[in-house]
Amino acid sequence: MKEGATEYTIQEAAERLEIPISKLRRWDRMGVLSAQRTAGGHRRYPREFIDQLVAASSSAISGKTSRELAAVKRSLAEKRRIIQLLLESEQRYRDLVETSHDLIWTTDAQGRFTYLNGAAHDIFGLPSKDLIGRCFFDFEAGTSHVSNRRFLAALKRTGEVKNYVTHVMTAPGEDRWIGINARLTRDEGASTLGIRGTARDITEQHLATRRIEHLALHDALTELPNRHSLQLTIESAMQSGRTGALLFIDLDHFKYVNDNFGHRIGDQLLVGVSGILRDLMNECDGDLYRLGGDEFAIHLPDKLRKEAIDAAELVLDAVARYRFQAGEQKAIANLSASIGVALYPFHGNDLPALLSNVDIAMYQAKDLGRNRYVLFDQSADGLRSTHHRVHWAKRLRDALDEDRLVLFSQAVVRLADQVPVHQEILVRIRDDDGRFILPGNFIELAESLGLVQEVDLRVVEILLKFMARNGQYGQKLRYFVNLSRVSISDQRWITRFMTLLRSSAVNPNQLVFEITETAAMAEVDVTLAFIRRLKDMGCRFALDDFGAGFSSFYYLKRFEVDYLKIDGGFVRDLATDEGNRIFVKAMNDVARALKKQVIAEWVESPEVLKVLLDMGAEYGQGYLFQRPEPLIDVAASLPESGARSHVA
């Protein structure tokens, strides 16, 4: 101990008192001999107090001289003071227990309560004294008795159970979900004396979790099961060797409704259509799903051609009869739909093939004049391939050969002051007439035609050349570039891609590569391997459209991404959709807890901006701040230092 110090460390105090350090720690936890804590959490004991304890103890034990006997007498008053301190410490411990928001409880060997603190009333609706002699099982609700017995078995087997969740019904009849930590107490012969532990009311968190789990498998607008739910159902049916039919339903000319009546009316129309389709499900013995946009699906398990055609005709008739009131003097009538029909396993013995073929049949129905259904066959596939895929293959190849890929830029802003801090790069094709073709019109086709790898590589190449021309090398500006799942799965493409990066003078830390959540989840191992290789070079990563599949919550800690972009479908209606607010806040909180930066997409109104700020979101992008512009036009305004950029 340093000379002149007024405190002992726990090691020094143990040596002075001639007792084990473990006993000092136990006394500290029990409040018998409390220690002070340094800023680093180390225990410290007052030197004067410890010395007095040592003096009192040594005086009482030795008793060899009259001088020591005199010291014993002088220490009696000090001992009484120490006893008083211990009593005060015990009272402090009791006060902490009784005022805790968590339930602290003990039981006998039969599980009957022998002690509960004041929090018992909040959980069970009864005062502590009325619960003595009762047990948790007296309040179990629903089917929780099954899991409760498993909980007891695990407790007896391991001696301790943490974070067990059970469902109880309070004395007034209210539902509660509580989280329990419990530990067995045993005597020296290992016989059970009782149980003690803590419990906490987690009803609010539990209901929020269930809501999020519901949103993962359901469409937020119509509350119908979503595309992910359909895929899980079809995969399960195929794996079990069952047969069935799948219908894809696309409302004809729905864009006209959005353009002329607005997106809000369009959403209301979709809700109305989902209602009439839902009413048909009992009649056709099927399950209805919303795939997104104006697309729905009907799954008919264990049904084949006749039942599928009957269901398609029922849908066409119901949609044609539907009349939607868009306002006091406006009504939308004469609706129609195009329906594709496919049977499994006959039109696809795996999920991707079945979905592709039913999609082809639906587009064939549109090509034939809409307001009809088409059962998939090979001729439909050939027709669409000839008139659509070959046409786009030529357009894409010409665009690549003639260097008609153009990079656009859209700022991502810090929401607090709306200052641009990132840049998102978007690709366009300049058509023969000078107009720009948006990526939504060609990226999926480029993937299916095997051209997306060349598109991705060309985008990176153009960006690196732009950075060289505009002196961006060595700056802190950061660009995000979206890559296709097809590209990162191609080892030859990865080799070319990494060669391109190494041959450039750019600092890899300036590049952030983006992959969508659905792409990442499609091939988890491939995604992880690609991320590791590029992270080793110093690049960063972003997960785009986060929340679209939601299953990535489970893998989020495995993906070493630096940024998450919350899917715009959840952000756009934050001001009016409570479910979306719960979902976005949960995603924002989880991502920030994992120290990942969050960017909200599709911020298009001041009301949405306010909601995002209230929930603590930091970054956003959308038409409220800036529309995409050609990158070359915004080069002059890019910050020279101190800013970071985001590219999608």
List alpha helices for 452-574, DSSP H.
452-469, 485-488, 491-503, 517-522, 524-537, 552-555, 568-571
User: Residue 643: what pLDDT?
Assistant: 36
Name the packing angle between helices 305-321 and 263-284 (round to 10°). 140
The Cα 386–Cα 393 span in angstroms is: 11
Helix (H) / strand (E) element for 543: namely strand 540-546
Name the packing angle between helices 263-284 and 254-261 (round to 10°). 140
- Residue 205, amino acid: Q
pTM over 0.75: no
User: Residue 337: what pLDDT?
Assistant: 94
DSSP codes, 441-482: GTHHHHHHHT-HHHHHHHHHHHHHHHHHHTT-TTSS--EEEE
The answer to whether the CB of 145 falls within 8 A of the CB of 153 is no
- Of 495, 467, 494, nearest in space to 479 by CA: 467
Backbone phi, psi, residue 190, to 5°: 70, 15
CA atoms within 13 A on the CB side of 275: 9
- Structure-token match 């049949």, residue found: 361
What Rg value do the Cα atoms of the chain yield, rounded?
34
The Cα 289–Cα 303 span in angstroms is: 17
The Cα 343–Cα 341 span in angstroms is: 7
Non-local CB neighbours of 223 within 8 Å, separated by 6+ positions = none
For residue 388, give the DSSP letter. Answer: I
The answer to whether the CB of 295 falls within 8 A of the CB of 283 is no
Task: Walk me through the domains of the chain, giving residue ranges and CATH numbers.
Answer: 7-99 (1.10.1660.10), 103-201 (3.30.450.20), 217-376 (3.30.70.270), 390-637 (3.20.20.450)
For residue 88, give the DSSP letter. Answer: H
Strand ranges (E), 152-240: 160-169, 175-186, 192-201
The answer to whether the CB of 217 falls within 8 A of the CB of 233 is no
> Kind of pairing, strands 629-630 and 511-516?
unpaired
Q: Which residues of the chain have pLDDT under 50?
A: 63-65, 380-381, 386, 640-648
The answer to whether the CB of 429 falls within 8 A of the CB of 437 is yes
The answer to whether the CB of 218 falls within 8 A of the CB of 582 is no
User: Residue 568: what pLDDT?
Assistant: 85
User: Residue 475: what pLDDT?
Assistant: 64
User: 6-15: which pairs have CB atoms within 8 A and are 24 or more residues apart?
Assistant: 6/46, 6/47, 6/48, 7/36, 7/44, 7/45, 7/46, 7/47, 8/44, 8/45, 8/46, 8/47, 8/50, 9/42, 9/43, 9/44, 9/45, 10/35, 10/42, 10/43, 10/44, 10/45, 13/45, 13/50
Q: 386, exposed or middle or buried, with CB in 10 Å at 0-12, 13-18, 19+?
A: exposed
**Order of strands across the sheet that contains 7-9:** 7-9, 43-46, 36-37
The answer to whether the CB of 244 falls within 8 A of the CB of 346 is no
Q: Return the structure tokens found at 21.
A: 């350090």
User: Residue 140: what pLDDT?
Assistant: 84
- Residue 469, amino acid: R
Helix (H) / strand (E) element for 215: namely helix 203-217
User: Residue 322: what pLDDT?
Assistant: 92
User: Residue 313: what pLDDT?
Assistant: 95
CA atoms within 13 A on the CB side of 167: 11
User: 529-537: which pairs have CB atoms within 8 A and are 24 or more residues apart?
Assistant: 530/488, 530/494, 531/559, 531/560, 531/561, 532/560, 533/494, 533/498, 534/498, 534/508, 535/560, 537/498, 537/501, 537/502, 537/508
**Order of strands across the sheet that contains 295-301:** 287-292, 295-301, 244-251, 337-344, 372-375
Non-local CB neighbours of 525 within 8 Å, separated by 6+ positions = none
- Residue 585, amino acid: K
The Cα 457–Cα 461 span in angstroms is: 6
